[in-house]
Amino acid sequence: MPTIAYPETKRVNVVEEHFGQKVADPYRWLENDVRNDKEVAAWVEAQNKVTNAYLNTLPSRDIFKNRLKQLYNYERFTIPVKKGGRYFYLYNSGLQSQRVLYVRDSVDGAGRVLIDPNSWAKDGAIALAEWSASDDGKRVVYAVQDGGTDWRTIRVLDVNTGKVQGDEVKWVRFSPTIAWAKDGSGFFYARYPEPKQGTESQASVANHAVYFHAIGTPQAQDRLVYATPDQPTLGHYLSITEDGCYIAIVSTPASIGNKLTVVDLKSADWKPRKLVDNLDDRWHVVGNVGTKFFLMTTKDAPRFKVVTMDIAAADPVITDVVPEQDSVLSNASLVGGRLFTSYLVDVQTEVQRYTLDGKADGVVKLPGIGTAIGFEGDQNDQETFFGFTSFNAPGVIYRYDVASNTARVWTQPKVAIDLNRIAVEQRFYKSKDGTRVPMFIVRRKDVTNPAPTLLYAYGGYAITEPPAFSAERLAWVEQGGVFAHAHIRGGSEYGKAWHEAGRRQKKQNVFDDFIAAGEYLKAQSITPQNGLAIQGRSNGGLLISAVVNQRPDLFAAALPQVGVMDMLRFDQFTGGKLWLDEYGSPAQEADFRNLLKYSPYHNIQSGKDYPAILATTADTDDRVVPSHTFKYVAALQAADIGDKPHFARIETRAGHGAGKPTDKIIEETADMWAFAAHWTGLDVKPAK
């Protein structure tokens, strides 16, 4: 195999001492912003040139790209939101760069385009992000996301005329909900202070705050509703009750417990009232009936339960409505006079119904084994919707009648693949310490011998990624490959304990679980000895690069995406301080020593034969800044770790993932799959 000529990367003499230990950081200069530093920009250009030259030699690249275009070319709807008798939803006809906001005047009426972001930029990289329709259905507030950034600009649209109004709100970030006031006079949102000019992409974010914007007024007059200047790392996530009487604010540093505050909008002063003022447990507002709030909580229930709290009392009493069960409660909602609860049963959804006093009222029959989401709506409306998906079932949306407990198909996509050929099975394997870990395995039904395998996991932040349809993964499976998804610790598949077992000082359990998954796949003759590729994004990118350092012999190829690679400096950039509760603080000695043990950038083992690595990032990612990947790849290329390629693929005009245009997704996936196919021996053939 010819030696790859990597671009020369300058080394600098940066050595810092932490708790008596000296740590070198020779690629510190790559932390500079690619848009402001010509030297970093030249390095990125040189890396992409070498990477693309190699990828151009892989014949399966074009095969995957063409097939992905076919597999992606199907209709995709989001669950409709009913406001003022109208139905609002996002829609992509197939290969559109961005999803389009539509409205229907009746449940089965014709859709009308409200907002089409595909006209906003020639490269398709400006996206419609968060949006919300007013209660009367006459206005939509929506957020604009440019080039994948986490920053948003909010605007308002008149639904009847289709005209954008003059309102503009900037520097919105991490505000998944934009909530209209009941009377439509304005909306609530969360934002950070405006950063200094030129630092938008890398500035550390702090002092999140909730504001109210009155329609027709300048942003400078927006009313501050809630902030915690004494705790600048808290993020504040808001919701408004259906009756419009209260704003509920969940405040959390990341993924552990949260505080809970309510604001009585009927009062003149909007004085915040703290209902929960500690981070011991997680709280989520389900809904309310007057002053009685329905809440999901992990208090005395690590797998969640539903409780009520009457806030009319000076010291509200917490009363169980639906006690904790063996399965994990993942969502609850009040619709049509019923309480709907969704449970994860070994990572598969089951939906139960209750009366509001907690009496069992049957179950919702789902179309199969998979994932159901939705069941949102008004308490007085017998109509709601839910979506259902699985590895071999594209997202079907159902209209559900609460009174009769029946559902009918509202939208059902047609995909360019025979899904009856795809088999999905769930298995359980033991990790290093004996913990039982679930894993889904997806392959063609006729694939019975060991086959090149793509193993994926996330493992952090109490995030669970249940079974879902993926055109990208099916492109791999269709070629005779195996896709495996390990639900390792760090998520919330089995509740709070499952997350805690993969957090901070226990992070090594996450890596052990993933390594055990790879060993299991080989031991069970699902995967050949030299045919295992691994993939993960963000925290999952950290996972992939960490396990490669620990067990380079186990893997043939690795695809770490937008990963957190420097565990000693992650808190220095953008939202990194928000991750301290998940990883621990490099400024604390015990945490520092634990982080240094697995930090991908600091643990590359010269003298070991490493798998082929294609690390992907984006030049404008302002959540996990690209310098993590830049420094990691520079260190890989400088190390004595064998002759297999170790590349960076650096996307332009893209961020952490959200808002990425369809064509960029297809191109990146084709590159990754072609790379993994080559190094695992997957025989890729053109589609017939």
Q: What is the pLDDT of residues 492-537, one digit of tens each?
A: 999 999 999 999 999 999 999 999 999 999 999 999 999 999 999 9
H/E stretch holding 671 reads: helix 662-680
CB 126 within 8 A of CB 147: yes
Mean predicted confidence (pLDDT) in 214-223: 98
- Nearest alpha carbon to residue 655 among 562, 591, 539, 516: 562
pLDDT at 199: 81
pLDDT at 530: 97
pLDDT at 54: 97
List, for residues 170-209, the tens digit of each pLDDT value: 999 999 999 999 999 999 999 999 998 888 877 778 999 9
HEC string of 249-315 equals EEEECCCCCCEEEEEECCCCCCCEEEEECCCCCCEEEEEEECCEEEEEECCCCCCCEEEEEECCCCC
List, for residues 601-653, the tens digit of each pLDDT value: 999 999 999 999 999 999 888 899 999 999 999 999 999 999 999 999 999 88
- Nearest alpha carbon to residue 242 among 110, 83, 99: 83
pLDDT at 2: 58
Residue 1 has pLDDT above 60, yes or no: no
Mean predicted confidence (pLDDT) in 200-223: 93
Residue 210 has pLDDT above 70, yes or no: yes
Residues noted as catalytic: 538, 656
pLDDT at 214: 98
pLDDT at 651: 93
Residue 376 has pLDDT above 90, yes or no: yes
Paired tokens of 58:
């892989």
Rounded to an integer, what distance in angstroms lies between the CA atom of residue 639 and that of residue 634?
A: 9
pLDDT at 255: 67
- Using CA atoms, how far residue 634 sits from 35, 37, 44, 46, 576, in Å, is 19, 17, 11, 12, 22
Mean predicted confidence (pLDDT) in 14-36: 96
Mean predicted confidence (pLDDT) in 448-471: 97
Rounded to an integer, what distance in angstroms lies between the CA atom of residue 500 and that of residue 320?
A: 24
Mean predicted confidence (pLDDT) in 355-376: 96
- Nearest alpha carbon to residue 211 among 245, 185, 186: 186
DSSP 555: -
Q: What percent of the chain has a predicted confidence (pLDDT) above 90?
A: 94
CB 349 within 8 A of CB 466: yes
pLDDT at 654: 84
Q: pLDDT class for 658, splitting at 50, 70, 90?
A: confident
Paired tokens of 658:
């959200």
pLDDT at 655: 81
pLDDT at 454: 98
Rounded to an integer, what distance in angstroms lies between the CA atom of residue 483 and that of residue 480?
A: 10
- Nearest alpha carbon to residue 211 among 199, 198, 200, 225: 225
pLDDT at 653: 83
CB 359 within 8 A of CB 380: no
pLDDT at 656: 84
Mean predicted confidence (pLDDT) in 331-355: 97
Count of helix runs (H) and strand runs (E) in the chain: 10, 39
Mean predicted confidence (pLDDT) in 254-266: 91
List, for residues 397-443, the tens digit of each pLDDT value: 999 999 999 999 999 999 999 999 999 999 999 999 999 999 999 99
Rounded to an integer, what distance in angstroms lies between the CA atom of residue 441 and that of residue 450?
A: 13
Q: What percent of the chain has a predicted confidence (pLDDT) above 70?
A: 99
